[in-house]
Each structure stands twice: as structure tokens, then as C-alpha cells.
Amino acid sequence: MYYVGICPFCEQGNLGIRICSKEGDAVILCDECDALWLSTDLNSKPLFPEQPNLPCPCCQGNLSDDPARWANFGEIYIKGWVHIVKGETG
Amino acid sequence: MNQPNKRLRTKASSLGWTAAIVLFLIIYSVIQSQRNQTNDQSVLNSEESRAQNVLDPLKEASHQSNTAKDEGAQQSDLGQQKEPNVSKSKSYPVASSPVSKKQTPANSNRPPPLNSSQRSTTAKTKPELGQLRDLGGKVWESAAGLKYGPGSREKHRLLHIMRHAEDQPNRPGKHGVFAGEGERKKVLAVIDEAYLKALKGGKKVERKKEGNRIVYTIDMDRRIGFVGGQVGNKQGKPSAYKIRLVLEGTNVITAFPL
């Protein structure tokens, strides 16, 4: 998973770029507490999608079930978010 | 000559039948009364024994989770937790009573309503912190009232929480690790204890609310684990004295040492 920072809400989770299951929407999602950002402005207040399916805020898909996934480098590049990537988790 | 003999034989036969029926009725009524006494005793004791029967197998499941190193093993561990439900009904003495199939409060699987004296007896046997009971729908409730249900990339919050039972030295940032040698019951007991402390409030409890989320940070006044991950390992795995609980109502999203 490519991570873009540490979650400012729970202060422990890694923030990854998640691709939703239907339209391929990209969001920033905490792998610890499921806090979600629609943009790279991590100072804005996060959304908390409904548990446990994490519906995508942009379409009818969700962020939890296949084919939802962590974005690969190509998908991050297309989204234009490469500049915020800090590294890759193990 | 044959006529009187025949009458005598018929009379003797009917007397014999009558005696046999009376004897049968006496034996039946004695057996019935003995069974009723046994049932009454079983109903009174059933609440305590049932609680124990439900919780004992969970202890085993918890012990088994220690050895589950990978996610797959943990998934099967969750499956094993469901067995108590089955054994619970098997071991419930009233259900096995052969007296009648009719479902009445006295012999159904449902525990009878408790009067005040029975309630005080039940209170003595309330589960220890860290013990779970199955609420159905893959949701488990802890002794303190926290609920662990489906969710997270691990597919269940119990599995998600147990990520913090061992260090992930390559994880970026910090990764709180609970003490307790990876034993789930010990981890959940600390979380239960922290939650009860959070509900009481006080100087050692910080509370942050955002939307439907509540984040508690609780100072436990003792070492409850250490800080791992890349940052923690660089710092020599410093001890953790606080727990952070992220909740939605009583539903656990995550919990970890700080």
C-alpha cells in the first residue's frame, strides 16, 4: 500500500489511497480507523463512512469489498496524487 | 358345569386387569412427581450453569487465538467462537427434559424470568473483563458492553484489534502493541478496563467527539504495552501507559496503546 501520511484523527493509522469497487473513485482512507478524505487537504475534517461496508461517497460502490483495493502507482499517477505519496508499507 | 367356571375365570381376569392398571397408575404418578422435582431444581440452577457453559468454550477459543499467526488462522478462530452457541443449548438441563415436548416457560430453552433473589445470584457470576458473548450477526459483546462486529480490511474488528497484539516493525509511524503475549482475552480485558474508566471520566481521560465518532485517550497509570512500528523501534520500544479507543457508540472501530 502506498501511504500518504499518518491519520490526523486517530494519530496512528497509515493513510492510503483507496479505489472504490464500482466507478474506480479514489479517496484517502485510514487503515486504522477508516477516516476518509476526498481531497489531499488532510487538514479538512474527515468523513466517517458507514460501517462495515464503507460506501463510496462518490458512487454506489463501496471501499471494503472486492474489487475495491489500495491504488497502485499507475492509478495514483492518473489521479495526480503522486506528489503526496510518502512511501510504501510492507 | 362349564358356565360357572367360565364366569369365575372372567371375574378373576377382570380383577387382575384392574389391579394391573391401578399399579401402573401409582408407579406413573410417583415417577412424574420425581421428575417435576428434578425440573424445578434444574430451572433454579440453570441461569448460572448456562452462563458458565457459554463462557468456558470462549476461554478455549481465546487460548487458540494465541497460536493463530496469520489472518487465515484468525478467521478460523472466529469460526470456533460460534461453537459455544451450539453447546449452550446442549448443556442446558431443562431442554433435555423428556417429560414433555410442549414449550412452556418451565421446560423451554429460554431462561425463566428472574425474581430479585435470583438476580442477586446471577450478578455474582457476571463475566470477567475481556470475555465475549455472541450477539449474533458476527457481533460479539465484551463484558464492559463494547461491541466487536464486521469491518476493517481484516473483515472483523476483533481481528483488527489483534493486529495490535504484536509489533509491526516496518509499519510507518507508530504501532501500539498490547502487553499480554498476544492473548486475546488479556488484550480485550485491558480495553474493557479502559472503557469503564473512560465512562467514569476524570483527569486521566481525554474525550474527543467528531460526528458519530468518539475518541477516548485513557491514562491507565501502568504499563499496558509498548510503542512499536518504525518510530517506536527507533526509540527503543518505549513503554505505553495510555490506550486510545475509537468508538461509534459502543461499537469498537479500533483500540491501541500509546
Smallest Cα–Cα separation from A30: which of A18, A43, A16? A16
Mutate to test the interface with B, among A1, A14, A33 (most CBs of B within 10 A): A33
Distance CA B224, CA B201 (A): 19
Across chain B, the runs of DSSP E, i.e. the strands, are 132-136, 139-142, 147-148, 175-178, 205-210, 213-219, 225-228, 239-240, 242-248, 251-257
Cα torsion angle, B37, B40, B46, B49, sign: negative
Interface membership of B253 toward A (CB under 8 Å): yes
Over residues B52-99, the pLDDT tens digits come to: 443 343 344 444 444 333 444 344 444 344 333 333 333 333 333 333
Residue-level pLDDT at B23? 87
Chain B, residues 154-173, CB within 8 A of chain A, namely 168, 170-173
Q: Suggest the residue from B138, B148, B152, B167 to mutate for an interface test with chain A (most A CBs closer than 10 A).
A: B152
**Domain ranges (residues) in chain B:** 1-125, 127-258
What DSSP line would sit under B33-85, residue for residue? HHHHHHHHHHHHHHHHHHHHHHHHHHHHHHHHHHH--SHHHHHHHHHHHTHHH
Identify the closest residue of chain B to A86 by CA–CA distance.
Answer: B172
Cβ B149–A51 below 8 Å, yes or no? yes
User: Chain B partners of A87 at a C-beta cutoff of 8 Å?
Assistant: 172
Contacts of B210 in chain A (CB under 8 A): 9, 45-46, 48
Residue B213 near residue B245 (C-beta atoms within 8 A): no
Contact (CB<8Å) B149/A52: yes
- Binary contact (B175, A12; C-beta < 8 A): yes
CB contact under 8 A, B253 and A34: yes
| Residue A75, C-alpha cell as written in the block | 492509478
Residues of chain A falling short of pLDDT 50:
none
Of B149, B152, B172, the CB nearest to A14: B172
Ordered mean pLDDT values, 10 residues apiece, chain B (258 residues): 65 82 86 66 41 38 40 43 36 36 48 51 70 95 96 92 96 96 94 97 95 96 97 97 97 97
Sign (positive or negative) of CA dihedral A63, A68, A73, A77 = negative
The Cα–Cα gap between A85 and B179 comes to: 33
**Tell me, what's the pLDDT at B27?**
86
| CB spacing of A52 vs B152 below 8 angstroms | yes
List the beta bridge partners of residue B252.
B247
CB A42 within 8 A of CB A35: no
* Interface contact A10-B254, CB threshold 8 A: yes
- Report d(CA A39, CA B92) in Å as an integer: 56
Question: Among candidates B56, B65, B57, which has minimal Cα distance to B165?
Answer: B65
pLDDT of residue B19: 86
The position carrying cell 505505553 is B240
Asked if residue B157 lies in contact with residue B252, where contact means CB atoms within 8 angstroms, the answer is: yes
Please tell me whether the peptide bond between B127 and the residue prior to it is cis, using omega within 30 degrees of 0.
no
The pLDDT of residue B20 is 86
Report how far apart, in Å, the C-alpha atoms of B54 and of each of B58, B84, B133, B209, B215 are: 7, 5, 8, 35, 31
Instruction: Give the single-character DSSP code of B109.
Output: S
Residue ranges per structural domain of chain A: 2-88
Task: Let me know how many helices (H) and strands (E) chain A has, helices first.
Answer: 1, 6
Q: Which amino acid is at B61?
A: A
In the prediction, which pLDDT does B15 show?
A: 83
Q: Does the model's pTM come out above 0.90? A: no
DSSP class of residue B223 equals: -
Interface A–B counts its CB contacts (< 8 A) at 60
Residue A32, helix vs strand vs coil: coil
Residues of B in contact with A52 (CB under 8 A): 149-152
What is the pLDDT, as a whole number, of residue B21?
A: 87
Cα–Cα distance for residue pair A26/A38, rounded to 1 Å:
8
Dihedral of alpha carbons B119, B84, B253, A58, sign: negative
Contact B174 A13 (CB under 8 A): no
CB–CB contact A12 B213 (8 Å): no
- The residue among B144, B161, B171, B130 whose CA lies nearest residue B257 is B161
Q: How far apart are CA A90 and CA B145, in angstroms?
A: 35
Torsion of CA B77, B80, B82, B88, to 10 degrees: -140
Contact B173 A34 (CB under 8 A): no
